[in-house]
């Protein structure tokens, strides 16, 4: 009798363990399935946007006003489709009118504090601009979509900037400068800015990564398979918080650099405009011409980008924005 009871107890315990294990396996598999589905959706949306901007529209320089308008209309339509009220900041440059397009996700805890996430949608003349910067615009739209149903602690501004490229680069007619000035004039409490600049090109070959200074190769990987966070010294704390959160949210390797703007490339995008007004800012980049041989050329086409890794950039940045924006209702 005792032996039979022992056998019965053992069988019950085995069944219980099997049941718990089965539930756990199902839960893990279900979670992995959900993550896979989410990443597939992000990847598909990124491909759609990059192909539309760089293939169907093509070059989007300041002289190609019809192409810029078509691009702006696409951005507005996408943001509106995610449930946002879309706003436009018009301004003039060289006797033409250009638009910064933005949406606002109001913060619950501290709505007066602002985190700006931005990317430029123009190109230099003659390039389809898949990496520079359809990839950044695609990432911007996906991040706006992913936060559409969340409640951040502080207010988020998702902004598509006009006129980052020459002949307006480093001028007061850059869309980002106009937008940053508006925030300053309104005495807005800007906590920081995240600039998405060329984020979709990756290489796995040896010595596929170049650097602004030769000695950098002793401190950074020489294979161009990672994303890079760049800031000035003032923004180092913001960068470290964003980077640490990114590493928790994404499997993509990430490197970072906080340095002086005199290093070539450190200030080569819209974050420079925000630095000019004293704001803390980070540039997220695949390092552009230090890695991508198609930079500002006719070869910067959609087929050259790695959309799986671009999706990982977006997934990681979602974690970064959650960290910088405070508590969110997930």
What digits encode the pLDDT tens for the residues 199-217? 999 999 999 999 999 999 9
Is 111 part of any domain?
Answer: yes
Residue numbers of the domain that contains 63: 2-324
Model confidence at 198, pLDDT cuts 50, 70, 90, reads very high
* Sign of the CA dihedral with 318 first, then 319, 324, and 329 last: positive
Peptide bond into 109 cis (omega under 30): no
Is 142 part of any domain?
Answer: yes
Is 330 part of any domain?
Answer: no
As for how many domains the chain has, the answer is 1
- Reduced 3-state DSSP string for the chain: CHHHHHHHHHHHHHHHHHHHHHHHHHHHHHHHHHHHHHHHHHHHHHHHHHHHHHHHHCCCCCCCHHHHHHHHHHHHHHHHHCCCCCEEEEEEECCEEEEEEEEEECCCCEEEEEEEEEEECCCCCCCCCHHHHHHHHHHHHHHHHHCCCCECCEEEEEEEECCCCCCCCCCCCCHHHHHHHHHHHCCCEEEEEEEEECCCCCCCCCCCCCCCCHHHHHCCCCCCCCEEEEECHHHHHHHHHHHHHHHHHCCCCEEEEECCCCCCCCCCCCHHHHHHCCCCEEEEECCHHHCCCCCCCCCCCHHHCCHHHHHHHHHHHHHHHHHHCCCCEC
Q: What is the per-residue pLDDT for 266? A: 85
Model confidence at 158, pLDDT cuts 50, 70, 90, reads very high
Q: What is the CATH number of the domain that holds 302?
A: 3.40.630.10
Is 301 part of any domain?
Answer: yes
Model confidence at 262, pLDDT cuts 50, 70, 90, reads confident
Q: What is the per-residue pLDDT for 3? A: 38
Pairing type for strands 154-161 and 227-231 reads: unpaired
Is 282 part of any domain?
Answer: yes
Q: What is the per-residue pLDDT for 6? A: 39
Whether the per-residue pLDDT at 120 is higher than 80: the answer is: yes
Q: What is the per-residue pLDDT for 28? A: 35
Is 13 part of any domain?
Answer: yes
Is 329 part of any domain?
Answer: no
Is 59 part of any domain?
Answer: yes
Percent of the chain with pLDDT over 90: 84
Mean pLDDT of 29-41: 72
Q: What is the per-residue pLDDT for 32? A: 55
Model confidence at 33, pLDDT cuts 50, 70, 90, reads low
Instruction: State the Cα–Cα distance between residues 17 and 12, nearest whole angstrom.
Output: 9
Tens of pLDDT, residue by residue over 217-249, are: 999 999 999 999 999 999 999 999 999 999 999
């Amino acid at each position: 009798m005792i032996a039979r009871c022992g056998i019965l107890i053992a069988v019950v315990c085995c069944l219980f363990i099997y049941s718990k294990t089965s539930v756990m396996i199902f839960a893990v598999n279900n979670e992995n399935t959900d993550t896979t589905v989410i990443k597939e959706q992000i990847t598909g949306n990124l491909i759609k946007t990059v192909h539309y901007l760089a293939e169907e529209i093509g070059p989007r320089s300041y002289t190609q006003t019809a192409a810029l308008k078509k691009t702006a209309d696409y951005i507005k339509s996408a943001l509106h489709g995610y449930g946002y009220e879309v706003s436009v900041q018009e301004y003039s440059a060289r006797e033409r009118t250009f638009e910064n397009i933005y949406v606002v996700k109001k913060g619950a805890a501290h709505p007066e504090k602002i985190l700006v996430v931005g990317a430029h949608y123009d190109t230099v003349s003659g390039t389809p601009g898949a990496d520079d910067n359809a990839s950044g615009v695609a990432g911007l739209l996906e991040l706006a979509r992913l936060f559409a149903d969340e409640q951040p602690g502080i207010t988020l501004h998702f902004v598509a900037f006009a006129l980052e490229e020459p002949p307006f680069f480093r001028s007061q007619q850059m869309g980002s400068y106009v937008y940053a000035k508006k925030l300053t004039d309104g005495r807005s409490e800007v906590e920081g800015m995240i600039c998405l600049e060329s984020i979709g090109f990756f290489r796995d070959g040896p010595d596929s990564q170049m650097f602004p200074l030769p000695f950098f190769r002793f401190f950074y990987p020489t294979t161009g398979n990672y994303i890079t966070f760049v800031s000035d010294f003032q923004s180092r704390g913001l960068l470290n918080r964003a980077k640490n959160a990114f590493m928790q949210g994404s499997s993509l390797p990430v490197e970072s650099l906080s340095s002086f703007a005199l290093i070539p490339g450190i200030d080569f995008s819209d974050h420079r405009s925000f630095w000019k007004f004293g704001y803390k800012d980070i540039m997220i980049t695949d390092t552009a011409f230090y890695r991508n041989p198609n930079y500002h050329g006719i070869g910067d086409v959609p087929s050259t980008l790695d959309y799986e890794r671009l999706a990982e950039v977006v997934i990681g940045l979602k974690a970064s924005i959650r960290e910088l924006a405070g508590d969110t209702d997930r």
